Amino acid sequence: MAELQNDRFLRALLREPVDRTPVWMMRQAGRYLPEYRATRGQAGSFMDLCRNAELACEVTLQPLERYPLDAAILFSDILTIPDAMGLGLRFETGEGPVFDKPIRSMADAKKLYVPDMGSDLQYVMNAVSTIRKNLNGRVPLIGFSGSPWTLATYMVEGGSSKTFSKVKAMMYDQPATLHHILDVLADSVIQYLNAQIEAGAQAVQIFDTWGGVLTPRDYKEFSLQYMHKIVDGLKRENDGRKVPVILFTKGGGQWLEEMAATGCDALGLDWTTDIDVARARVGDKVALQGNMDPSMLYASPERIRQEVGYILEKFGKGSGHVFNLGHGIHPEVDPEHAGAFIKAVTELSGQYHA
């Protein structure tokens, strides 16, 4: 593998000194870019785009051609694992993912199995190795997975949900069924992320998109416990370098100490927790990634720059901050505004690393 020319993202995650704060954006390869929409049109469907290593590589690299980003993230979807379990995933226009065979009982749950990474999910590993090769050491490549709880919400609900009524009914009424599902998912995610690391991912992020809908007690039992199991099972070194692990629970600001205690290297923050408060709570244990409100990118470039300066100042001096949005970039954002955001981070952050 080519020597890494820009490793400030990996160094910041391990709280090692850097010359400036590294920056990337969740969903940086996506619908806000006209070149992404063109490639997606060429691919046919969203999953066809994920399954085509060359096209997945193309869209992964598109934002790096536009902006001085410090990391690339694998272009894929969090639902690849449940899809590989044979639940009949399809994407409906306007309503998102739908599973034809949702999991509603212990009998359904007992049919779940850990997919074979070398056949069922080989297309993801092909994409990882293709992207890594084409990056040629420019920046590190991030691999990722959904958290067991987040994946389970889609598998039990049969798609997206605003109320999570089916999965919460199962959690409260049939906890053993949900624990069985989560256990199979945790084992699957461990193998999935380790296979991504072996294929060339240099850091991994676990997206717990829906952890924030749980009570504190239920979060610890049904989400955090399984992420902890995953962190314990991950390969933490490859190619002679550490492979940092980022945990991101949207709406999880109240559980930062418990998340840091899993042994992960970094925590993703959404925009509902001030970064100075988060650093005061967990700063010597983990790095922090975040946490500008993605809606700030609708504002003028001047206002965006002001916000970037505010967040940098709030974090303060020293390493251990990866600048990011508090969630994925919205599809309607003007690419010029995303550029203004990244430019502001690269220009304003050096003073905090003297």
- Give the active site residues: 27, 31, 40, 77, 154
Q: What is the pTM of this model?
A: 0.98
Please count the structural domains in the chain: 1
**Domain of residue 306, residue span:** 8-23+33-353
pLDDT, tens only, 29-45 = 999 999 999 999 999 99
Domain presence at residue 3: no
The fraction of the chain above a pLDDT of 70, given in percent, is 100
What does the pLDDT read at residue 281?
98
pLDDT, tens only, 317-347 = 999 999 999 999 999 999 999 999 999 999 9
Domain presence at residue 280: yes
Q: What are phi and psi of 317, to 5 degrees?
A: -80, 155
Q: Is the pLDDT of residue 316 over 90?
A: yes
pLDDT, tens only, 237-284 = 999 999 999 999 999 999 999 999 999 999 999 999 999 999 999 988
Domain presence at residue 2: no
Q: Is the pLDDT of residue 204 over 90?
A: yes
Flag whether 309 is marked binding: no
Flag whether 31 is marked binding: yes
Average pLDDT (118-143) is 98
Q: Is the pLDDT of residue 181 over 90?
A: yes
What are the DSSP E strand ranges found in the chain?
72-73, 89-92, 96-99, 141-146, 203-208, 237-238, 241-242, 245-249, 266-268, 287-292, 321-325
pLDDT, tens only, 61-94 = 999 999 999 999 999 999 999 999 999 999 987 7
Domain presence at residue 327: yes
Domain presence at residue 73: yes
Collect all residues with Cβ–Cβ distance below 8 Å to 249 and sequence separation of at least 6.
147, 208, 211, 212, 219, 223, 255, 259, 268
Flag whether 27 is marked binding: yes
**CATH for 44:** 3.20.20.210
Flag whether 327 is marked binding: yes
What does the pLDDT read at residue 283?
83
Domain presence at residue 1: no
What own/partner pairs with CB < 8 Å and gap ≥ 24 does 295-302 have?
A: 295/330, 296/341, 297/325, 297/329, 297/330, 297/333, 297/334, 297/337, 297/338, 297/341, 298/330, 298/332, 298/333, 298/337, 299/337, 301/336, 301/337, 301/340
Domain presence at residue 28: no
Domain presence at residue 140: yes
